[in-house]
Amino acid sequence: MSNPLDPKTTRELAVNRKDFVLFFCIGLFMVSLVLAAITAVKIQSFHFGPLVVLVPAGSVAFGLTYLETDVISEVWGRSFALMTVYAGLVMRFVMFILIGYALGGEDVFPFIGIADSWAPERDAAFESVLGASMRINLAGVVAFGLSALSGVFIFHHLKHREKGKNRLWLRNNISTTVSQVLDSIVFVTVAFGGTMPLAAVASIVLGQVLVKVSVAFLDTPVVYLLRNIATDRKLFDFRG
């Protein structure tokens, strides 16, 4: 049995923690990305005091993706963060193809049919949700690619410019806010443009920005916590 005080054991534990945080961030990133695409079909109303805005249900899940890329950027660097974003883009394309197969498999492949237990009304409900998510998923690919890549580059620009200063919170929130505004404008325009009144589209853009920025602000302590676990710092060390 290894001695817990042995320096080698201590190093191994630190590496295991760092590996766990990396896999956790990548896993949560992919889950949030997929759920954001599927649940964005549903439009909710958010109340910010007297202000009521329309928000796709996937906005909260999508807002979480920036938490993971910021942690990966901070601990592992820009290359790891970019690889995570590229992998996410590939997964969105895979998701797009698989949803398309699920919607029209029997129309494309002669050896696939609909089971007798799958009633027409169930098929209609299935297509109404996933069919709508096809356009939303395509919009998400475009918006996510532009915003996530810009977020990574802004984060590292600020990290280089503010080197040696206690400003992880600043680059976390600025990079996320700018990229979230870009994402909201592109995503809502492509996903919902022409399907609803202009006022509703504007409300969704505003709602997405407010919700995503709120998520970014609230997740800042979590960014520090994951950074600290990965780098073997004290859990509530908010320096750096």
Predicted confidence band of residue 39 (pLDDT cuts 50, 70, 90): confident
Q: What is the mean pLDDT of residues 22-49?
A: 88
Predicted confidence at residue 15, as pLDDT, reads: 62
Helical spans, DSSP H, in the chain:
7-39, 59-76, 78-108, 120-161, 168-192, 198-218, 220-230
pLDDT band at 14; cut points 50, 70, 90: low
Could you report the per-residue pLDDT of 173-195, keeping only the tens digit for each? 999 889 988 988 888 888 777 77
Rounded to whole angstroms, the Cα distance separating 240 from 231 reads: 12
**Quick check: 31 pLDDT over 90?**
yes
pLDDT at 1 over 60: no
**pLDDT computed for residue 12 by the predictor:** 57
Evaluate if residue 32 carries a pLDDT over 70: yes
* Chain segment 153-179, per-residue pLDDT in tens: 999 999 888 776 778 989 999 998 899
Lowest mean pLDDT among 17-31, 125-139, 187-201: 125-139
The pLDDT of residue 163 is 77
Beta-carbon neighbour count of residue 158 at 10 Å?
Answer: 18
In the structure, what pLDDT confidence band is assigned to residue 70 with cuts at 50, 70 and 90? very high
- Token pair listed for 89: 């883009």
For residue 13, what pLDDT band results from cuts at 50, 70 and 90? low
pLDDT of residue 124: 84
| CA dist., res. 31 & res. 6, Å (int) | 37
- 57 contacts: CB under 8 Å, gap ≥ 6: 39, 40, 41, 42, 43, 44
What pLDDT is attached to residue 79? Answer: 94
Residue with tokens 């609909």: 114
Q: What are phi and psi of 111, to 5 degrees?
A: -90, 5
Mean pLDDT of the chain: 84
